[in-house]
Amino acid sequence: MSDRPLEGITVVSLEQAVAAPYATRQLADLGARVIKIERPEIGDFARGYDDTVHGESSYFVWLNRSKESLTLDLKALEGQRILRELLAEADVLVQNLGPGATVRMGLGADDLAETHPRLIVCDISGYGADGPWRSRKAYDLLVQAEAGLLSVTGSEAEVAKAGISVADIAAGSFAYSGILAALYTRATTGRARAVTVSLFEALAEWMGSPAYYTQYGGSSPRRTGARHATIAPYGPFVARDGEAVLLAVQNQREWARLCEEVLGLPDLVTDPRFARNPDRVAHRDELEAIIAAAARELTSTDLEARLESAGIANARMNTMDQLWAHPVLAERKRWRDVATPGGVVEALVPPASLDGVEPRMDPVPAVGEHSDTILATLGCTPAEIADLRDAAVI
């Protein structure tokens, strides 16, 4: 027995794409056994998004380590029977299938509450299991648009989507924390509470700051590219060598230090155009022109050194290659080797570290890799497993 807190917890997941796999991978990181149900032969369609990681999808490798893959045709009664057998011994069911799919199989949260009272059911949907949009399809970019993220992202001239699947990741994060809360509730009260998360509501929660700013301030934050919409100065400035250095001023003390110690322009501190943050935002173009001119007199190394010396937060605009080789990740030993069907890859350990606990970092499964083993534990003989395969149930 390891010290991982979810050792002994079994999760069955009817999952695809990003949101549910992200939630269940985090449960696996903490030691849970995650049985991933996939379509026979094809598997999770995220396997086909690309083939860049030793022939595997970058999305799939990221989201599916430490899981067991069981292929089941859930349209077949025999496939549903096997699933029900698994649920009899499971602690958690996670699903992000199409709207109403599990309910039509008699596997909705209400159905399972009667037949499996200790099972925690987590349903991840696009816009909620009820309400006017319960049957509407939801993909990440579409949810970014509906939640208003596109309206505040990009340049003044053009909107831009977030460069990652932010709606899916938000929903997966809330599903993960909701399941942990439900497991705690079951352990302390004996009651298994269902968990529901929608992509739209997850991202709407993350949009809290611009939503409040607009509702009570009367205008939406401007799209400002890599700059902060409501704080200034906060963004990139190009140094003499052409490299961009980002800086962020959060308070009046930092503003004074920036002017005096970095820019060498102490008169800016008392300039009424820039006295408070709202003033600096209102006169952003004038302020940024002054800072940009000062930045062009310094190399990026010198500018970064001055910012550090003055205690002003700063960063470089890294590429993915630079992220991969980042000294913080290397020196803090945040990388581990993980096997995939095509070869070994490096993977980041989970960001929340538990003292004395090594996270689980087991292989990424091939489609149906564990089908025979899992079915054998349910009492299926080799001949019966062969029949299931011949019938395309697995």
Under a CB-based contact definition with an 8 Å cutoff, are residues 97 and 72 in contact? no
The whole-number pLDDT of residue 203 equals 97
The letter for the amino acid at 256 is: A
Identical topology for domains 10-207+332-390 and 234-316:
no
Q: Which of 80, 72, 148 is nearest to 385 (CA)?
A: 72
Q: Which fold has domain 234-316?
A: formyl-coa transferase, domain 3 (3.30.1540)
Cα–Cα distances in angstroms (integers) from residue 191 to residues 47, 89, 174, 182, 279, in the given order: 36, 16, 20, 9, 53
102-150 pLDDT, tens digit each? 999 999 999 999 999 999 999 999 999 888 999 898 999 999 999 999 9
Determine whether 370 is an active site residue.
no
Instruction: Name the CATH code of domain 10-207+332-390 (choices 3.40.50.11900, 3.40.309.10, 3.40.50.10540, 3.40.50.300).
Output: 3.40.50.10540
Share of the chain above pLDDT 70, in %: 99
- Helical residues (DSSP H) of the chain, grouped into ranges: 19-29, 58-63, 77-88, 101-104, 109-115, 140-146, 166-189, 199-206, 208-217, 252-257, 277-282, 284-295, 300-309, 320-324, 327-331, 371-377, 382-390
From the candidates 228, 283, 326, 370, give the one annotated as an active-site residue.
228
The whole-number pLDDT of residue 59 equals 96
369 — pLDDT class (breaks 50, 70, 90) = very high
Who contacts 223 (Cβ-Cβ below 8 Å, separation ≥6)? 151, 152, 153, 154, 155, 156, 159, 229
For residue 352 the two structure tokens come to: 């929340």
Cα–Cα distances in angstroms (integers) from residue 235 to residues 19, 239, 282, in the given order: 30, 13, 16
What residue ranges do the domains of the chain occupy?
A: 10-207+332-390, 234-316
Residue 1 confidence (pLDDT) above 60: no
For the chain, give the number of residues.
Answer: 394
Residue 46 confidence (pLDDT) above 80: yes
What is the model's pTM?
Answer: 0.91
On the CB side of 2, CA atoms within 13 Å amount to 17
274-330 pLDDT, tens digit each? 999 999 999 999 999 999 999 999 999 999 999 999 999 999 999 999 999 999 999
Q: For residues 112 and 257, give the distance between their C-alpha atoms in angstroms, rounded to a whole number.
A: 61
Please state, as a whole number, how many other Cβ atoms lie within 10 Å of the Cβ of residue 261: 15
The whole-number pLDDT of residue 86 equals 96
Residue 50 phi/psi, 5° resolution?
A: -160, 180
The whole-number pLDDT of residue 314 equals 96
Residue 11 confidence (pLDDT) above 80: yes
241-256 pLDDT, tens digit each? 999 999 999 999 999 9
224 — pLDDT class (breaks 50, 70, 90) = confident
The whole-number pLDDT of residue 229 equals 87
The whole-number pLDDT of residue 96 equals 96
The whole-number pLDDT of residue 95 equals 97
- State the helix-helix crossing angle for 199-206 and 166-189, rounded to 10 degrees: 100
Share of the chain above pLDDT 90, in %: 92
Q: Please compute the mean of the pLDDT values over residues 218-231 and round it to a whole number.
A: 88
The whole-number pLDDT of residue 225 equals 87
Q: Using the Cα atoms of residue 11, residue 14, residue 20 and residue 21 in order, give the sign of their dihedral.
A: positive
